[in-house]
Amino acid sequence: MSRIYNFSAGPGVLPESVLQKVQAEMLDYRGNGMSVMEMSHRSKAFDDIIKKAEADLRKLMQIPENYKVLFLQGGASTQFAMVPLNLFRNKKADYVNTGSWSKKAMAEARRYGEVNMVASSEDQTFNYIPEITQEMFDSEADYVHITTNNTIYGTRFPSLPPVGDVPLVADMSSNIISQYYDVSKFGLIYAGAQKNIAPAGVTIVIIKDDLADSPLEITPTMLRYSTYIESDSLFNTPPCFAIYVAGLVFEWLLDQGGIKAIEKQNNEKAALLYNYLDQSALFESTVKGADRSIMNIPYVTGNSELDAKFIKEADDAGFKTLKGHRSVGGMRASIYNAMPVQGVKDLVAFMKDFENKNK
């Protein structure tokens, strides 16, 4: 069977050359006589893997030296608890509510302190990013939390909110390494890797070193950032195979020219699809203006039966996993870094043909 175009929101498409390298090294990782999946996390070979992965990520994202890079487990959902458990000092934080994941993050943080919802776009099914000014934030808040890209609803922050001296915490699960961010503007970045980096299993945390030293007393050992900082992410057995694949993806991205080069390509892919949607008489984007995501693009026909017909015919034609989330309906094309430009061009051509046949 030939490869299809995988538009899944996550786990997402991985670079084909990376998958081929994984395949070639599956039984024997570079002369070690075993797979990475069998390898001790205390071995020299794996130590080289995790150290190179960190070094390449630091190079890609231009991560300052006073930030720690951690490879954790538990997904971004575990970070919903780890962030307040480790960052609460005054036991209050400001959250911007832009979708399902920010709602879940707020609910978890409320277990440990006061959560102030600074702004929300729930009134319009999260199809925009609310206007935010610095005066809206509490100067005594321990942090401000945002979700930079909203996978389900297809929005992203067009610019970072003006938080002043309060640490900015960002869930970047669906757009990390897809566009350039100045890491020094953040106190903490976290991301489940299964959308743009690796298979499910590893979660990346980038944290300013002075934020990790005073967790709440109730914080379990396994939920303390300091536990993993002190052990170089090797306190217990980490998700070795996912870290290995992440490292290969970082190498691939460096070969593509780095984040600014892939951001240019991602903008090109998104423009191809949005430009068609904006002139289509059948399909319509559910998000308008500057808040549009370049990773996740939801769209609808306005007719649920026609949506279902399109999804079925697209699936049969090799355009897989286009069904939208139940919160929005319709379709959603996730066009992560590894989705080739040709994949979007072919999808648009298929959509044009479908529109002509279903006027």
Which residues are identified as catalytic? Answer: 101, 171, 195
- CA angle 146/148/151 to nearest 5° reads 115
The span from the CA of 241 to the CA of 14, in Å, is 14
* β-bridge partners, 285: 299
The span from the CA of 29 to the CA of 22, in Å, is 9
**36, 28 Cβ separation under 8 angstroms:** no
The span from the CA of 240 to the CA of 201, in Å, is 9
Q: What is the DSSP letter of 334?
A: E
**287, 127 Cβ separation under 8 angstroms:** yes
- CA angle 292/107/162 to nearest 5° reads 45
Strand duo 203-208 + 114-120: pairing: unpaired
Residue 162 preceded by cis peptide, ω within 30 = no
Both structure tokens of 60: 């890609």
The span from the CA of 262 to the CA of 178, in Å, is 6
